[in-house]
Every structure is written in structure tokens, then in C-alpha cells.
Amino acid sequence: MTEAPYLSIKGISKSFGALQVVRDADIAVGRGEFVSFLGPSGCGKTTILRMVAGFETPSTGSISIDGRDITYLKPSQRNIGMVFQSYALFPNLTVADNIGFGLRVAGVNRAEIASRVEEMLALIKLPQLAERFPWQLSGGQQQRVALARALAPRPTVLLLDEPLSALDAKIRVSLREEIRAIQQDLGITTIFVTHDQEEALSMSDRVMVMNQGRIEQIGTPAEIYNHPSTSFVAGFVGTLS
């Protein structure tokens, strides 16, 4: 990366009581880049994501976006979009109202919300589902709506925490491509947390491999796959089925 990083995570550590779950992590993500955090369950991926989102405070280190230190800002002050593994749509709101929810909370006027919702429905290719309720949608459709809801306020950074893990295999593969296409279309800086090697290697500009709270390697999918720098990375990536 030649230009200054857009999202900069410097010397981040996190302990819960005596348990240190993230150890001195440094990651610089470029503007518009798609970076996956890959590693086995419990290695600390989500904890880093939660520190970027503001749901956890680092024990040491700092986080900045576009040169602005956000380490101690409240989540609502960060303008970050997030999608979780389980869709967490509001069950009593229509698709359109789910997508517009954050804008309404932010006091955006009705006309602007309606036009943004329409734009987001087109982006996820579900314009016909605006008035449906979440229970009337498939799992894949619900995740697309969750993505639209996260993107509607035009966040600076998009955080995706295992967004495909609850879906069946066929939908997972098509949604991978769709998420990546939308991300590139918007040029939005994205972190994608996954324990699935194939997912990380097929979707990302770069992959950060973690093990027991430490970064093992950061590189392009080809670098990680062809030139693993530690035996852990070789073993973890090599277990591709």
C-alpha cells in the first residue's frame, strides 16, 4: 500500500480479566480495500472487529479512520456499518422500514429516507420485497436486507462478522460474489471476519490470519496460499477441502 491507510489499527491488545485475547495487533487497511480476518473460532477476530465498532475498548493501542482517532468514541459517533451472523432484522418492521431505520433514528427527512431505501433495494436487487416482513424472506434475502440496512447511512467502513455462516452452502457461494460486487461498486473499506479459508481466500484483497490473539500473517490470498509464513498458516490454509 503506497497511500496512507484509511483504517489504521495500531498496537491493539485486549484482555478480559486475566485472559488476553488480542495481542499487539497492527493492521493498516487501504481505502476501498476488502480485508478478511481469518482464523479458528476463539482466536480474537470478533474482538478486534468489536473494538473497531466501539463495542469494546482496547486495553492498549489505538484505532483511526481517515486520520481521525476513534479509539474512545461511542459506536454511534463512528458511522460504521455492521452485519452479524444472525440477521437481527427488526421482526415487526417491513424490509423498507428495516433499511431506513438508522436514517430515521438520525433524523433524516422522509423523502430522503424513501429515496435512500429505494437505492439500497436496487443495490441488493430486491426492489419487489420492500413491503415484506423478515419472516417472509429466505435466509439469504434477510442477509441482503441486513447489508442494505448497514449501508443505508453511507458508513465510512463496513464490518461483516461471519455474515454467511448461518446460510446453506449454495446460497453462501452466490452471496459471496454479491457482497464483493456491492463492496467494489461502492468502493467501501470492508473487514470480513470468517473462520472459512475458502471464503477468505476467494473474496479478499488481503487476508489477515490470526491464531490465539496474534496475527500470524497478512497478505494477498495468493501470498497466503502459496507462501504461508508460519506452520500455523500452512496448516490452517492447507486444510482447504
Residue 211 interacts with ligand ADP (CB under 6 A): yes or no? no
Q: Which is nearer to ligand ADP, 101 or 232 (CB)?
A: 232
The size of the interface with ligand ADP (CB under 6 A), counted in residues, is: 11
Residue 45 sits in the site that holds ligand ADP (CB under 6 A):
yes
Closest CA to 147 of 82, 91, 85: 82
CB of 14 to ligand ADP, least distance (A): 8
CA atoms of 112 and 71, how far apart (whole Å): 31
Among 1, 4, 11, 16, binds ligand ADP (CB under 6 A): 16
Among 9, 29, 34, 39, binds ligand ADP (CB under 6 A): 39
Question: With 0-12 CB in 10 A as exposed, 13-18 as middle and 19+ as buried, what is 203?
Answer: buried
Q: Does 21 bind ligand ADP (CB under 6 A)?
A: yes
Q: Does 42 bind ligand ADP (CB under 6 A)?
A: yes
In this chain, which stretch among 45-53, 109-117, 145-153, 231-239 interacts with ligand ADP, using CB under 6 A?
45-53
End-to-end CA distance of the chain: 31
φ, ψ of residue 210 to 5 degrees: the values are: -115, 150
Q: Are 99 and 145 in contact (CB under 8 A)?
A: yes
Give 47 or 143: the residue with its C-beta nearer to ligand ADP.
47
- In Å, how far are 82, 97, 196, 232 from 239, measured between CA atoms? 29, 42, 10, 11
Q: How far apart (Å, rounded) are the C-alpha atoms in residues 169 and 191?
A: 21
Q: Which of 2, 41, 109, 128 binds ligand ADP (CB under 6 A)?
A: 41
Give the span between the Cα atoms of 213 and 44, in whole angstroms: 5
Q: Of 44-52, 72-80, 113-121, 179-187, which part binds ligand ADP (CB under 6 A)?
A: 44-52
Binding site for ligand ADP (CB under 6 A): 16, 19, 21, 39, 41-47
